[in-house]
């Protein structure tokens, strides 16, 4: 079977909602034993149960990726029972605003989750992967590569994610560790639904259409499309790929002027 992950063990941060949830379920469907890392215990448990109901294998772990001690403890606990082959850094938070509308507290919040969280997870898992190789995928964003209005702190964090990706790919290629990034444009997730509901009550449909048209292809992406790309990059079929960013953006980067 193409893109089989049979006998592979995957760790997915933020694996209980949005893109992370789609990735968790997709990897499990292809045979991986998926460990869901979630701050929200309920979301993690729901996704775990859905995977098991579909015949897959999963565990859920409550963990704050911004807390290194917490992350190391969870990764070590998983590694005692399973060899970890795959790490997907999907946990993340967003912020809207230019630098003048980015208070220090918001900047720190974005940094702790989107930058330090990625660092903590890679830092914790690298000693284990050095023994047998593995795959690391970091969820970046088109905002890390091109200017997007009012995304100052978020863009900062995703630019950092990209450079961490390149550095890890370079430093650990001789250990059989591949590290790549995925850079989505606008993806229709519960975050987008909440953003529209909170900021444009009663006008959600109109604003959704407007946001969709900012993508040259004329629509937003859906989480499953990102999950399918992640699946490919995790599989042996992608064994020649490392140190690369993969935009999945409906033409946003190259066709937007």
Active-site residue, 119 included: no
CA-CA distance, 90 to 151, in Å (whole number)? 18
Q: Are 229 and 182 in contact (CB under 8 A)?
A: yes
Contact 19, 37 (CB under 8 A): no
DSSP β-bridge partners for residue 33? 9, 57
Cα(177)–Cα(174) distance, integer angstroms = 7
Tokens of 177: 């560790």
Q: Cβ distance 197 to 150 under 8 Å?
A: no
Alpha helices in the chain (DSSP H): 18-29, 41-53, 68-81, 104-110, 116-129, 152-171, 190-199, 204-212, 223-234, 252-255
Pick the catalytic residue from 123, 154, 200, 232: 154
> Would residue 138 be called left, alpha or beta, if left means φ above 0 and alpha means ψ between -120 and 50 degrees?
beta
- What's the number of CA atoms in the CB half-sphere (13 Å) around residue 58? 31
Residues in the chain: 257
Tokens standing for residue 150: 């009012």
How many angstroms separate the Cα of 250 from the Cα of each of 120, 159, 183, 213?
31, 20, 11, 10
Give the residue numbers marked as catalytic.
154
């Amino acid at each position: 079977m193409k893109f089989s992950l049979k006998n592979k063990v995957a760790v997915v941060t933020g694996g209980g909602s949005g893109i992370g949830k789609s990735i968790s379920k997709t990897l499990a469907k292809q045979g991986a034993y998926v460990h869901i890392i979630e701050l929200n215990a309920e979301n993690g448990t729901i996704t775990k149960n859905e995977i098991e109901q579909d015949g897959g294998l999963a565990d859920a772990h409550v963990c704050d990726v911004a807390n290194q001690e917490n992350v190391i403890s969870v990764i070590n606990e998983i590694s005692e029972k399973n060899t970890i082959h795959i790490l997907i850094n999907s946990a993340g938070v967003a912020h809207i605003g230019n630098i003048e509308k980015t208070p220090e507290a918001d900047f720190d919040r974005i940094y702790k989750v989107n930058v330090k969280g990625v660092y903590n997870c890679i830092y914790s898992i690298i000693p284990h992967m050095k023994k047998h190789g593995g795959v690391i995928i970091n969820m970046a964003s088109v905002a890390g590569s091109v200017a997007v209005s009012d995304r100052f702190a978020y863009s900062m964090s995703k630019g950092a994610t990209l450079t961490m990706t390149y550095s890890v790919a370079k430093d650990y290629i001789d250990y059989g560790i591949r590290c790549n990034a995925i850079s989505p444009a606008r993806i229709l997730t519960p975050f987008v639904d909440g953003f529209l509901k909170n900021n444009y009550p009663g006008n959600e449909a109109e604003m959704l259409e407007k946001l969709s048209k900012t993508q040259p292809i004329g629509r937003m992406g859906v989480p499953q499309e990102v999950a399918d790309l992640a699946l490919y990059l995790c599989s042996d079929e992608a064994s020649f790929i490392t140190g690369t960013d993969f935009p999945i953006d409906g033409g946003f980067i190259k066709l937007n002027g």
